[in-house]
Amino acid sequence: MLTEFGLALKYVRARGNTLYYLADDGTEVGVFDAASGFGSLMFGHNNPEIVEHAKWLLDQQTPVHAQFSGYSFALNLAAELNTVIRRELQTEDKFFALFGNSGAEAVEISIKHAEMDRGARIAELKAEIDTHVEQARTAVANGARVSADAAAVVGGTDFDHLAAEVARRNAQTEARPPLFLALEGGFHGKLVSSVQLTHNNEFRAPFKALAAQARFIPRDRPELIAKVVEDERSTLLDVTVQDGVVDLVERDFPIFAAFLIEPIMGEAGIFPLSAQLAGALREACDTFGVPLIADEIQSGMGRSGTFLAGTQIGLKPDYIILAKALGGGVAKLGVVLVNEHRYRKDIELIHTSTYGRDGFSSRLALKVLQMLEADDGKAYQLAAERGAKAKAMMEAIKADYPDVVKEVRGVGLMLGFELHDQSDSSSPEIREAVEHEALAFVIGGHLLRKHQIRIFSTASNLETMRFEPSIHLSDEEIARVDAGFRDICQILRDQDASRFE
């Protein structure tokens, strides 16, 4: 498909916001890259400072591997990440760091941690129930009796029968697989478990049988969370003794392991969550005792203008997941930060990975953090300022082409430029492209060939072009995108597919 639309160029060099391929005559052609490693390149391709540092790390004979040791570099990274996120979350709480090699892997680490936490909470609840059953057994030996209500539930007044029935029914409930909560349109990766939290049915459905499922909530309907929780509610039976009477009570069984969200939903089509939703999510998670996990893999590391995009909406997550840009576009790593109040330290032995915590990635990520934080956070300011300028350019196009451009969304350098649906186009070629879900590729191919711009739509919203260049976005590059987008808008206004190159 990439070949068909002329997108399968073989890039030979990359620097800043530019990827280079060789033309037929052997000369290099530079392409402005708005895809930016799916948002991994906050500082651009092969940023000289990062490249220099990477070379230096290797020259220094940095111990890339030193498993089962003090891991000084990974710990330094965890400490520096704490400084930054505690400032942004305005908390004194500590965050423990777990390391992996990619975004999806970090999501899976968070899934495993959340399930361990859920298991521990179930064990605590069961221990309480066991204690209550033994207390009731003693009370019965001393003359207490089983209430009529309890007898009706378990089918008899005999206490041993009641205890056996409580154990049997509770074992049935405990056998239910865990569930997760996530938002409709959300994207959290494509590994075995993470893909089940990714809403797109095409990615998720073939692998449904392999992992725990999520219940998806529309991002504009937080009031539905309570309904979904109620739908899935199940309880364990507990035993009470009062005034010589043994009774049964229901205790909520923690069926939901976690609620995963993206503060700016990327793949869904660049939808920033509102402060109101952030508050509603926190409240729901507190009410139902479920940890709130912010997937900042794409939105984090300064792309929004703050280190965490959630900071701007007052989001208070229990875990934070980072990857992509944390490795400076060179190293592959993912980090999960878990609030100390939620942290289950056994995970550190139960989940390991050979390259997780490796010295090279950790030191490179430390460098990235330093670069972000340098000069009073100049990088964050640049993301905000360059992003605002690019957004203003897109808004101006929308004002000139309201018939073609539906909406401009996003924060900082995570922007979405959404076109109106063209399925009713008067041009048969355009209609056919929409039918084959190929219009975004036609547009992408045209922008590439005619304007030397590399840009894609988001996977779950094919009308939205996603713009995520580095903070070194220049005025010239903004002008190039302005011209390219206007050209597309004029072609679509004229419904003249013959002008697509």
The amino acid at residue 90 is Q
Cα of 462 vs its chain's centroid, Å: 19
Angle at the Cα of 296 (from 292 to 299), degrees rounded to 5? 135
The amino acid at residue 199 is H
| Min separation Cβ 198 and ligand F0G, Å | 8
- Strands 414-419 and 461-467 come out as antiparallel
Q: How far apart are the first and last CA of the chain?
A: 16
Distance CA 213, CA 226 (A): 18
Specify the residue, 284 or 323, whose C-beta has the smaller distance to ligand F0G: 323
Considering only 267, 407, 418, 477, the residue that binds ligand F0G (CB under 6 A) is 267
- Collapsing DSSP to helix, strand or coil, 130 comes out as helix
CA atoms within 13 A on the CB side of 349: 2
Residues in region 6-45 near ligand F0G by CB under 6 A: 38-39
Give 287: exposed, middle or buried? Use CB within 10 Å, 0-12, 13-18, 19+.
exposed
Considering only 33, 108, 262, 407, the residue that binds ligand F0G (CB under 6 A) is 262
Distance CA 50, CA 360 (A): 12
Residues in region 379-408 near ligand F0G by CB under 6 A: none
Contact call for residue 298 and ligand F0G (CB under 6 A): yes
Contact call for residue 297 and ligand F0G (CB under 6 A): yes
| Min separation Cβ 456 and ligand F0G, Å | 8
Specify the residue, 305 or 327, whose C-beta has the smaller distance to ligand F0G: 327
Strand spans (E) along 376-413: 405-411
Residues in region 175-194 near ligand F0G by CB under 6 A: 187-189
Contact call for residue 355 and ligand F0G (CB under 6 A): no
Specify the residue, 333 or 394, whose C-beta has the smaller distance to ligand F0G: 333
Contact call for residue 259 and ligand F0G (CB under 6 A): no
> Can you name the residues that pair with 430 across neighbouring β-strands?
none
CA distances, 134 to each of 137, 140, 160, 496 (Å): 5, 10, 11, 80
- Strands 28-33 and 453-454 come out as parallel
Contact call for residue 295 and ligand F0G (CB under 6 A): yes
| Min separation Cβ 306 and ligand F0G, Å | 17
With contacts defined by CB under 6 A, how many residues of the chain interact with ligand F0G?
A: 16
Are 360 and 333 in contact, with CB atoms under 8 Å apart?
Answer: no
Considering only 100, 222, 263, 266, the residue that binds ligand F0G (CB under 6 A) is 266
Contact call for residue 104 and ligand F0G (CB under 6 A): yes
Distance CA 106, CA 356 (A): 10
Which residue lies nearest ligand F0G, judged by its C-beta? 103
| Min separation Cβ 259 and ligand F0G, Å | 15
What character string, x for contact with ligand F0G (CB under 6 A) and - otherwise, covers 50-79? ------------------------------
Specify the residue, 253 or 319, whose C-beta has the smaller distance to ligand F0G: 319
Specify the residue, 238 or 295, whose C-beta has the smaller distance to ligand F0G: 295
Are 163 and 132 in contact, with CB atoms under 8 Å apart?
Answer: no
Distance CA 196, CA 257 (A): 13
Contact call for residue 323 and ligand F0G (CB under 6 A): yes
Specify the residue, 129 or 268, whose C-beta has the smaller distance to ligand F0G: 268
Write out the two tokens for 172: 């049935």
Contact call for residue 103 and ligand F0G (CB under 6 A): yes
Contact call for residue 455 and ligand F0G (CB under 6 A): no
Contact call for residue 199 and ligand F0G (CB under 6 A): no
Contact call for residue 107 and ligand F0G (CB under 6 A): yes
Write out the two tokens for 161: 């029968």
Q: Which residue's entry shows tokens 């073989």?
A: 10
Contact call for residue 440 and ligand F0G (CB under 6 A): no
Q: Which residues bind ligand F0G (CB under 6 A)?
A: 38-39, 102-104, 107, 187-189, 262, 266-267, 295, 297-298, 323
